[in-house]
Amino acid sequence: MNRSHRRSLTISFLALLITALFLGSGASVARADNGPHGDYTATTDACAGCHRAHTAGAPRLLLDDVPNLCYTCHGSGGNGADTNVVDGIYLERDLDTEDPAEGIAGRGLKGGGFVNALMDTDWDGAATSAPTTSSHLVDGSTGTAWGNGDIGSGPGAAIPLSCTSCHDPHGRASTTGGPTYRLLRAIPVNSGATTGVDVEDEVDKVYTVSDTAQKSGNQYFGEDYGTQGDQLSEWCSQCHTRYLAPGGSGSTDSGDPIFAYRHLTQGSPSCSLCHDVHGGTLPTGGPMFSHDVTCVTCHVAHGTSASMGGYAENVEWPDGATDPSGNNRSSLLRVDNRGTCQLCHGK
Amino acid sequence: MSNIDAGNQVSEHDLSLIEEEERAEKRRRWLLLLLLLLLALLACVLLLFIRYLRQPEPLPEMIPLPVDVNYPPHYLFSIYGVDKPVGVAYSLRNDRIYVAETGGKRLVKIFDRDGNPLGSFAPPRTMPGERSPVYLAVDGAGRVFVTDRLQHAIFVYDENGTFLDTILGPDLTLSEYVLKHVNNLRPDATFAYNQFEHVVYYKSPGEPERTLPTPEPAMWAPLGIRFDRTGRLLFTDVRQERNAVYLISADAFSPSSWRNFDPPVISFGSTGQGDGQFLFPNSAVADSQGRIYVTDGNNGRISVWDEKGQFLFHFGGGSGEGALSLPRGAAIDERDRLYVVDAVGQNVKVYDVSGPEPDFLFAFGDWGMGDGQFNYPNDIALDRYGRLYIADRENNRIQVWSY
């Protein structure tokens, strides 16, 4: 028996096993929209949508092919999904306000976009579609997962990245085989993490940035992630290990030569840090949208069209490199320059 | 005895003479026949040559050979210079190919049959991230209809890509909307609308551009689009609330009705996985008997309807020969062969639908980057010379196959 035979046998066996697992896991609550991801029933043809029906061989999915598969539905043509992650736009056209679909038609997706994004990054009240300036690179190429690894382990391990590094297209990706927010894998692939973080699934899915505190409908800052916010901070930090910082980290040396003093990224600070409850002083300046400060308070998960100028465009990378500079240094931020900081600190 | 013998000898001799003459005569006749045949052949070759000089084409396209329906086509060549093409259409009027791109600048590109570029176009006043041409259809007048998933509209252009109008909903065109708000608009006025900006623009020559508030957005999301043989427009709607197929009669597209667009519409289907339901229907095509075949994308099957919009049956689901993974663009030829592009199956599957039950004939193509291999193909168009044009998305090309 040659290698490829063995491989296809193994894979067929795996496929059988997985199907059995899916089907065996019993009655599940039918979720509003997992599309073809998960909730497989005994009569399902759902595997066929991503795996070739007739070829007995391997699923043939190399890492760099994965986005092509996902874009077949989630691409700008929206031929098989309403979440167009290429342009970061929700394509659905139900305008029925009584029973809104999973977001608002033509509104920006929470994750931003991989090629273009429809964001009001300059906070002027109008959103225009613009090419993304930075994004997680999902073409299977290898990049430095900044902060990956223990204290003192350098800028971070280099790992290849694709959609399936973060998402499990088969759903049920929690540590206990339950549903997760946006099919996020409890343990991102190649993160080196071992315990896993479950980001709770939403009951009613909303894919677009919300109306609250927005002038134009596409201002990405001020999104209230509730429970998912803190969980997402922990989740992102399975790859970006040393970015997870509790309150007070800004003035406490972590012991890491690179990530020594870090901004709070985990949960809410104690009230007294900002509100002098007894003396009656109010927080400095700007609107504090949510008391939580998590990764997704400042960053989007996929890509941003924010632009950087002045100081912001020349910030050194954690490994000391300064390239790429300019707008490429937008680091998935939700607002231009350091507007992200202003909106809380109002300096 | 000897006399008799002699007589015999004479007659034998005579006989052989006569025989020889007959043989010679026969040979002459044969030669003459051969000569005539050769002359006829020469005439044929000459005629073909003259035709060739006037319209150079490969031989099989000049002499339409009778083809068995179960005879797969072969790969001819590829048209490059397109960025992630997902839609392709052929114009009977001028033998042009129109291609919709989802990558780069997202243009619709025009080519001749040999792949020479002739131009490109896009909706006025849109940025690449605000438009997404997906499928196209060309009517008898050569006008090009392009569905746009981001704009939720069908854009209409003339054969050279000059913007004519936008269909904003099953009963509203942009020209109609502007006319409703502006009195005595000049016929040569131009207008434009981008869903992401909140105004409609219009301009009469010599006057400054003016704006109008945006129309009430229509509850629709047009995706697949085709004209059938009788000139009716078939399109699919992938709105979550109601996935459906729409049929608009041919006379709706006569020039006069553009500014009073309210054609009778037949629509059928709903969202779901049951009989008569769809999940992201990607195209709808009609056969010679008027039956309608819908590629029911995320359900991985073809659903069949009669001309009045009554559900008949579906096929192509499940596993086994002819089973579909992710059916997308489709076309039907004059022999009632249904071609379905299977995006994840990485091939084109062909069914004979001339009988009461569809028969799977063959599939062509396989995954890869070489000649005749596909990388997430999405749409197909047929021309009248037996050529097939397939949008090979991730290989950034249109593949041309031929019988």
pLDDT attached to residue A216: 63
Cβ–Cβ contact B154 with A under 8 A: no
Look up tokens 């409703």; give the residue.
B180
DSSP single-letter state for residue B377: E
User: Which chain A residue lies closest to B87 (C-alpha atoms)?
Assistant: A77
3-state secondary structure at position B341: strand
Q: Which of A52, A94, A116 sits opposite B239 (nearest CB)?
A: A94
Among candidates B31, B13, B137, which has minimal Cα distance to B87? B137
**Any residues with CB less than 8 A from the CB of B373 and at least 6 apart, and which?**
B346, B365, B366, B367, B395
**Taking residues B393-401, what's their average pLDDT?**
97
Q: Which of B127, B220, B376 sits opposite A72 (nearest CB)?
A: B376
pLDDT attached to residue A16: 40
User: Does residue A25 sit in the same domain as residue A141?
Assistant: no
Contact between B328 and B358 under an 8 Å Cβ cutoff? The reply is no
DSSP single-letter state for residue B233: E
In the structure encoding, which two tokens stand for residue A203, read together?
């009951």
User: Does residue A117 sit in the same domain as residue A161?
Assistant: yes
pLDDT attached to residue B18: 83
Contact between B398 and B78 under an 8 Å Cβ cutoff? The reply is yes
Q: Which of B217, B219, B221 sits opposite A91 (nearest CB)?
A: B221
Cβ–Cβ contact A206 with B under 8 A: no
**How many CB atoms sit inside 10 A of residue A262's CB?**
20
In the structure encoding, which two tokens stand for residue A59, read together?
């699923």
Q: Which of B129, B134, B325 sits opposite A48 (nearest CB)?
A: B325
Contact between A55 and B346 under an 8 Å Cβ cutoff? The reply is no
Q: Please answer yes or no on whether A93 and B320 come within 8 Å at the CB atom.
A: no
Percent residues over pLDDT 70 in chain B: 93
In the structure encoding, which two tokens stand for residue A262, read together?
């870090």
User: Which chain A residue lies closest to B195 (C-alpha atoms)?
Assistant: A106
Q: With a CB-CB cutoff of 8 Å, which residues 182-201 of chain B face chain A?
A: 195-196
Q: Please answer yes or no on whether B86 and A101 come within 8 Å at the CB atom.
A: no
pLDDT attached to residue A271: 57
Whole-number Å distance between alpha carbons of B182 and B185: 6
Q: A226: alpha, beta or left, given left = phi > 0 and alpha = psi -120 to 50?
A: left
Q: Which of A52, A89, A101 sits opposite B150 (nearest CB)?
A: A89
Among candidates B354, B355, B375, B356, which has minimal Cα distance to B365? B375
User: Does residue A94 sit in the same domain as residue A203?
Assistant: no
Q: A285: alpha, beta or left, given left = phi > 0 and alpha = psi -120 to 50?
A: left
User: Which chain B residue lies closest to A45 (C-alpha atoms)?
Assistant: B318
Cβ–Cβ contact A113 with B under 8 A: yes
| N-terminal to C-terminal alpha carbon distance within chain A | 70
pLDDT attached to residue B2: 45
User: Which chain B residue lies closest to A72 (C-alpha atoms)?
Assistant: B376
Q: Please answer yes or no on whether A79 and B324 come within 8 Å at the CB atom.
A: no
User: Does residue A94 sit in the same domain as residue A161?
Assistant: no
Provide the shortest C-alpha distance from residue B393 to chain A (in Å): 9
User: Does residue A259 sit in the same domain as residue A121?
Assistant: yes
Q: With a CB-CB cutoff of 8 Å, which residues 360-399 of chain B face chain A?
A: 367, 375-376, 378, 393-394
Whole-number Å distance between alpha carbons of A109 and A90: 6
pLDDT attached to residue B217: 85
Whole-number Å distance between alpha carbons of A163 and A160: 11
For the stretch B313-339, pLDDT in tens is: 999 998 788 899 999 999 999 999 999
Q: With a CB-CB cutoff of 8 Å, which residues 273-302 of chain A face chain B?
A: none
Provide the shortest C-alpha distance from residue A204 to chain B (in Å): 15
Q: With a CB-CB cutoff of 8 Å, which residues 25-44 of chain A face chain B?
A: 35-36
Q: What fold is seen in the domain B73-402?
A: Neuraminidase (2.120.10)
In the structure encoding, which two tokens stand for residue A23, read together?
């089907």
**Any residues with CB less than 8 A from the CB of A98 and at least 6 apart, and which?**
none
In the structure encoding, which two tokens stand for residue B115, read together?
């792949």
Lowest-pLDDT range of A46-55, A272-281, B73-82, B85-94: A272-281
**How many CB atoms sit inside 10 A of residue B175's CB?**
21
User: Does residue A57 sit in the same domain as residue A172?
Assistant: no
Residues of chain A with pLDDT under 70: 1-33, 39-45, 53-63, 95-101, 212-216, 268-291, 324, 346-347
**With contacts defined as CB-CB under 8 Å, which chain A residues touch B223?**
78-79
Q: Which of A39, A40, A76 to mutate to test the interface with B (most CBs of B within 10 A)?
A: A76
Would the pLDDT of B64 be above 80?
A: no
Q: Which of A106, A127, A128 sits opposite B195 (nearest CB)?
A: A106
Could you tell me the sign of the dihedral formed by the alpha carbons of A18, A19, A22, A26, in that order? negative
- Secondary structure element (H or E) that encloses residue B291, with its range: none
Whole-number Å distance between alpha carbons of A260 and A263: 10
Would the pLDDT of B210 be above 80?
A: yes
pLDDT attached to residue A27: 30
In the structure encoding, which two tokens stand for residue B270, read together?
């709903």
User: Which chain B residue lies closest to A217 (C-alpha atoms)?
Assistant: B196
User: Does residue A66 sit in the same domain as residue A198?
Assistant: no
**With contacts defined as CB-CB under 8 Å, which chain A residues touch B219?**
93-96
DSSP string, A150-175: STTS-S--EEE--HHHHB-TTS--ST
User: Does residue A139 sit in the same domain as residue A267?
Assistant: yes
pLDDT attached to residue A200: 95
User: Does residue A113 sit in the same domain as residue A73?
Assistant: no
User: Does residue A213 sit in the same domain as residue A68?
Assistant: no
**Taking residues B64-90, what's their average pLDDT?**
88
For the stretch B266-285, pLDDT in tens is: 999 999 999 999 999 999 99
Among candidates A138, A120, A140, A141, which has minimal Cα distance to A129? A120
Please list the residues that pair with B389 across neighbouring strands.
Answer: B381, B400
Q: Which structural domain, as residue segments, surrounds residue A95?
A: 3-100
Cβ–Cβ contact A331 with B under 8 A: no
State the count of interchain CB pairs (< 8 A) between A and B: 152
User: Does residue A89 sit in the same domain as residue A119?
Assistant: no
Cβ–Cβ contact B344 with A under 8 A: yes
- Residue B365, class by beta-carbon neighbours within 10 Å (0-12 exposed, 13-18 middle, 19+ buried)? buried
Q: Which of A78, A100, A122 is a domain's end point? A: A100
Task: Write b or e for each residue in A196-234: b if 16 or more Cβ atoms lie within 10 A of its Cβ, otherwise e.
Answer: bbbbebbeebebbbbeeebeebbbbbbbebeebbbbbbb
**How many CB atoms sit inside 10 A of residue B260's CB?**
13
The domain total for chain A is: 2
Report pTM.
0.89
Among candidates A147, A115, A112, A336, which has minimal Cα distance to A260? A147
For the stretch B163-172, pLDDT in tens is: 999 999 988 9
In the structure encoding, which two tokens stand for residue B26, read together?
């026969």
Q: Which of A66, A100, A134 is a domain's end point? A: A100
Whole-number Å distance between alpha carbons of B163 and B60: 37
3-state secondary structure at position B332: strand
Cβ–Cβ contact B76 with A under 8 A: no
Contact between B175 and B160 under an 8 Å Cβ cutoff? The reply is no
Provide the H-helix boundaries in B247-308. Answer: none
Look up tokens 């006008």; give the residue.
B143
Contact between A306 and A121 under an 8 Å Cβ cutoff? The reply is yes
Q: Which of B168, B195, B240, B283 to mutate to test the interface with A (most CBs of A within 10 A)?
A: B240
Q: Which of A100, A123, A139 is a domain's end point? A: A100
User: Does residue A51 sit in the same domain as residue A112?
Assistant: no
Whole-number Å distance between alpha carbons of B283 and B229: 15
**With contacts defined as CB-CB under 8 Å, which chain A residues touch B240?**
82, 92-94, 101-102
Q: B269: alpha, beta or left, given left = phi > 0 and alpha = psi -120 to 50?
A: left
The CA distances from residue A118 to A107, A298, B103, in Å, are 8, 17, 17
Which of residues B10 and B328 earns the better pLDDT score?
A: B328
**How many CB atoms sit inside 10 A of residue A154's CB?**
14
Cβ–Cβ contact A104 with B under 8 A: no
